[in-house]
Structures are given as C-alpha cells and as structure tokens.
C-alpha cells in the first residue's frame, strides 16, 4: 500500500518498490499528475496498471482521490 504526499512517490521510491518486487502495489493518490508520472516509473519497473477508481471525497472542489492497483507483468 502506497499513499505518498501530493507530490507523489517519485522515481527513487518507485524504483525501491519495484526492486522489492511485490506481486501487487495499491497506490492511493491525491494528485492525478503525480499519479501519472509514478505510473510511468512503475511501468519501467515491470508493473502495469490493472485497476483504477476515483473517489470524490471533497465535494465542490477539484480534488479527487484515486486508487490504482499495479500488478507485476
């Protein structure tokens, strides 16, 4: 389970996770741009986005929480 700050996990954290090679990674994100960037980092490490859900936890704002599941290819 990964729930990074708004800035995302970043390349170093994504790299460390992929080296640990868990069967799946569940990523909770509050910024879609950071999530997209980290998705690319995880893909470089051999993971693919298997599922994605968005939740409007802050009605009447532009903030959305996303939960993605990444699986090892």
Catalytic residues: 30
Cα separation of 29 and 66, whole Å? 5
Contacts of 10 (CB under 8 A, 6+ apart): 4, 38, 41
* Number of neighbours of residue 14 by Cβ within 10 angstroms: 26
């Amino acid at each position: 389970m990964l729930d990074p700050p708004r800035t995302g996990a970043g390349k170093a954290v994504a790299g460390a996770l992929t080296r640990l090679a868990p069967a799946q990674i569940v990523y909770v994100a509050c910024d879609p741009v950071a999530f997209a960037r980290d998705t690319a980092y995880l893909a470089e490490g051999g993971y693919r986005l298997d599922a994605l859900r968005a939740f409007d936890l802050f009605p009447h704002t532009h903030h959305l929480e996303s939960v993605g599941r990444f699986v090892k290819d």
